Amino acid sequence: MSDVFEGYERHYSELSANLTKKCTVAGVLDGEQKKQKVTEIKAGIDDAESLIRKMDLDARSLPPNIKAVLLAKLREYKSDLNNLKSEVKKLVSGNAYTSARDELLESGMADALTASADQRSRLMMSTERLNKSSDGVKDSRRTMLETEELGVSILQDLHSQRQSLLHAHTTLHGVDDNIGKSKRVLTSMARRMNRNKWLIIAVITFLVIAIALVLYFKLK
């Protein structure tokens, strides 16, 4: 989650709680005191609207998975702000003191405050769940980055092994060439040895025949 968004969110939560207290106090005031309190509340509502606009701009600049989570929070905050505006309208219209007294007697104001408190409680629970979801998104993103780094490392290792295999193939090809040359040399040597052998046999045969002829003529 954006640190800027979290800062705006904390400020808004504090401001919303303060405005709710002021609305409760203004409901039992009258005259100039009521007008002054209502003026303070309106100024606070303007500040709250400005914070919501800032949070909206910051949320829309984030990645889609995080943006969806933050926009869901903003819908809750806008609903809370609309409730505060409705309470201000009630304070401004008519006799605030009498209306507040009548509403309290009829439990209307009590119900409204209870509903607002329940809504803020649900808002806090939703915020907590959304924060957990954001943490889960962060963990998933970190796991994805680690997996990507592992994949890059594996690809680099495979590339290195491929280069080693290509080098080994080139070396083996050179060895095959050398073996072929050696085979041709040995074949040539074998042929020369065979020729020399038959030549020696022919010479020996000739010498044996010559010796036999010499002995024959001498003994005759």
Give the pLDDT score at 98.
Answer: 54
Determine the average pLDDT of the residues in 7-30. 91
Task: Find out whether 58 and 5 touch, Cβ atoms under 8 Å.
Answer: yes
Going by pLDDT thresholds of 50, 70 and 90, the confidence category of residue 103 is low
Give the distance, in angstroms, between the CA of residue 43 and the centroid of all CA atoms in the same chain: 41
> Global pTM?
0.43
User: Residues 6 or more apart from 88 whose CB is under 8 A from it?
Assistant: 23, 38, 41, 42, 45
**Going from the N-terminus, what domains does the chain have, and what CATH number goes with each?**
1-101 (1.20.58.400)
The predicted-structure confidence for 61-89, as pLDDT tens digits, reads as follows: 999 999 999 999 999 999 999 999 999 99
